Structure 1
């Protein structure tokens, strides 16, 4: 493989940082294997050199685009093998007991409004990804954070005003949603009570019918006794 001319310090995998340490490592893409290979090669050639990760990623991305299908084949095979490894390990993986289940989210509930920073990110993320196609999600977020911190207060105002309006709308929507939820819950309680009342009345009617039948049987027996006496 040709030398990219840059080197980055070894990075620890982010897959095992959180959650169960015994959980299988996530599967890697063919491009991820390519970048990993480049990193290892440059570490051997330039053990003391250091460079910005975004520069390294950009050069990796440019090199990847110019590679032939045959050259990429090696990494695609590695990705396929890793996918099989991951699927096999996940079949045998047993999550630890006591894991909390995800809280049910009503799809009809109003969505939380984005913050001013989130609105800023939504606008500039495509630009960052276009200029640095090789950047990871984490590095894109880091770059956006730096941009936001360096943005003047006056330039932040449009995002803050928009976020404030969206928050105001959300508070109205969520209040109406919760009020509707209480009404619906009340209707369910009433419906349940009516159903219970109806069931009770039906049971009482059945008991009355049984009593009537018993009375009729007793009357018939008395009539038979009278006939016998005669």
Structure 2
């Protein structure tokens, strides 16, 4: 079922790097209106250009980001989530059940093992990327990974799955133990009562 979007919610704030990419895209559209842009390549070129810029050149984008942050904060003060709107903190959002800190960590998929290795590289190659854009880039890189490397990550995932299965079984057993002990104590109480009745 699609998530109902709150149309009245203020547009999210942009980073200095996001304003820079937006400006680059607008410049490119003006110079080459009919050209189809391959986002991955364009993003890479933007990141390279951003790296070579000095602080004075970046300053205008930082100012744009500060203004946008102020705009967002002002709009959020007057914002009330629409009835039934889902999302972070909306009235229709479900409360997450509290997670037991003693529960074993879930097993990671091959893709997540890959992300653990590559995330820092993506951030170094393209500083200023938002969380969503980093995830997109990781997804693109995963699609280009050769079979040998993919197999290594799949083996890591398989090993981690076995680790999780062993740990979760032990954890569930541990949770069930106090309940069994309680039931055993009740049985003993009942036996004592029966013995007392027999004595009478």
TM-score by length of 2: 0.70
Pair 75,173 (structure 1): closer, same or farther in 2 beyond 3 Å: same
Q: Does structure 1 conserve the Cα–Cα contact (< 8 Å) formed by 2:9 and 2:79?
A: yes
What corresponds to 1:175 in structure 2?
Answer: 169
**Larger RCO (CA under 8 A, 6+ residues apart):** 2
* More deviation, 111-120/155-164: 155-164
Which whole-Å CA distance do the structure 2 matches of 1:131 and 1:31 have between them?
Answer: 13
Which of residues 11, 16, 20 is equivalent to 1:25?
A: 11
For these two proteins, the number of residue pairs brought into alignment is 173
Q: Secondary structure at the match of 1:90?
A: helix
Q: Does structure 2 conserve the Cα–Cα contact (< 8 Å) formed by 1:119 and 1:159?
A: yes
Unmatched segments (≥5 aa) in structure 1: 1-16, 194-230
- Tell me if 1:70 matches 2:67: no
Of structures 1 and 2, the larger Rg is shown by: 1
1:41-120 superposed matches below 5 A:
41-95=27-81, 96=83, 97-120=91-114
Which whole-Å CA distance do the structure 1 matches of 2:13 and 2:181 have between them?
Answer: 49
Q: Secondary structure at the match of 1:178?
A: helix
Pair 184,26 (structure 1): closer, same or farther in 2 beyond 3 Å: farther
Q: Does structure 2 conserve the Cα–Cα contact (< 8 Å) formed by 1:109 and 1:174?
A: yes
Unmatched segments (≥5 aa) in structure 2: 84-90, 187-200
TM-score by length of 1: 0.62
Q: Secondary structure at the match of 1:85?
A: helix
Q: Secondary structure at the match of 2:144?
A: helix
